[in-house]
Chain A
Amino acid sequence: MVPLSDIKNILKEAKIKYSHSQVTCYDRNFRGAAEDMFVFKYKDRRFHIYLYDDYICI
């Protein structure tokens, strides 16, 4: 898993303000699971980064 600190460092180095939170994702039965999510604006677009076990999703 990509360490959280890696993502934080990359965003800080790019001087981008971001929010980091643990979000609750729901399946069809509305059972929750927590995932790390970063939200930031870059060049007038908003991006989300989710961290999964074996990849990063933008």
Chain B
Amino acid sequence: MKTSVAFAVNMPEKECGINIKYCRLSNTNIYISSYLSPDKVYMENVGKCIEMIKEYLLRFDFQRSFLFGANGGLFVFCNCVELALRESSEIFPAIDILLEMLPVIEENFPDKPDDIDADAIPEELRDLIPLLNEWAISDDQEREEKVDKAAKATLTRLVNRVAPKLDAINKYLDSFGDEPLSEAATMFASLAELVCELQLRK
């Protein structure tokens, strides 16, 4: 997995293994990826990114006591930023801060998509690799838009090609056990999700 930056503020992110305490900022823990921490470049980027967005993070202190309350936090992974809040009244103040912060992250830490290493993919799934760039869409809304625009025949061909391999995809994903999924595996998961949804539409 190649990513320029990934960390969590205030609470660990379990699915991606961002669970090692890295430092404290205004009485709040910053967590980094256990998977990526041996990577020197990753560590440098995390430090640099936190320094760059520190002032924005402090502004999320809506409760005026510490950076984020219980069950509140921020998760940065590549260019994706997720913010967990407790109060609905905080939504727009938080979004306004995010809108200032996002360009800083996007400009300095752009996404670096991996070239998929076919050797690391189970042989029976390798013929699906060409589908990943177009159809492995993790965002629900984007996936729906893509499906709505696609021709019915195209979707039928996609289902016919991928559906017989869902068990193999599942087995591949399970092979990671408690370890975080690789970027390629995440793409296979998104592809499988799409095909399951298409099957449900029938």
Chain A residue nearest to B142 (CB atoms) is A46
A48 CB to nearest chain B CB (Å): 7
For residue A30, which residues in chain B have a CB less than 8 angstroms away from its CB? 166, 170, 192-193, 196
| Chain B residues within an 8 Å CB radius of A47 | 95
Contact B85 A56 (CB under 8 A): yes
With A28-B174, A57-B83 given, is the CB distance from A10 to B166 under 8 Å? no
Question: Considering only CB atoms and an 8 Å cut-off, how many residues of chain B contact the other chain?
Answer: 29
In the assembled complex, the CB of B153 is this many whole angstroms from the nearest CB of chain A, namely 24
Given A14-B92, A28-B173, also A54-B86 (CB < 8 A): yes
Closest to B200 in A: A24
CB B60 to nearest CB in A, in angstroms, measures 11
Given contacts A10-B91, A58-B82, contact A29 B170 (CB under 8 A): yes
- Distance A57 CA – B85 CA, assembled complex (angstroms): 6
Min CB–CB distance B47 → chain A (angstroms):
25
B140 / chain A contacts, CB cutoff of 8 Å = 23, 37, 48
- A interface footprint on B87-129 (CB within 8 Å = 1, 0 otherwise): 1110110110011001000000000000000000000000000
Q: Are B92 and A55 in contact (CB under 8 A)?
A: no
Complex CA–CA separation, A48 to B193 (angstroms):
19
**Count of chain A residues with Cβ under 8 Å from any Cβ of B?**
25
Given A26-B193, A28-B189, A55 contacting B85 (CB threshold 8 A): yes
With A26-B193, A26-B196, A58-B98 already in contact, the answer to whether A10 and B88 are too (CB < 8 A) is yes
Judge if B84 is at the interface, Cβ distance under 8 Å: yes
How far, in whole Å, are A17 and B200 apart by their CA atoms in the complex?
A: 28
Q: Which A5-20 residues have C-beta < 8 A from chain B?
A: 6-7, 10, 14
29 CB contacts below 8 A, A to B, read A2-B87, A6-B88, A7-B91, A10-B88, A10-B92, A23-B140, A24-B197, A26-B196, A28-B170, A28-B174, A29-B170, A30-B193, A37-B140, A39-B141, A42-B95, A43-B99, A46-B141, A48-B139, A55-B71, A55-B86, A56-B85, A56-B88, A56-B91, A57-B82, A57-B85, A58-B84, A58-B85, A58-B94, A58-B95
Having A26-B193, A29-B170, A55-B72, one finds 16 other A-B pairs with CB under 8 Å, namely: A7-B91, A23-B140, A30-B170, A30-B193, A30-B196, A39-B141, A45-B99, A45-B102, A48-B139, A55-B84, A56-B86, A56-B87, A56-B91, A57-B82, A58-B83, A58-B84
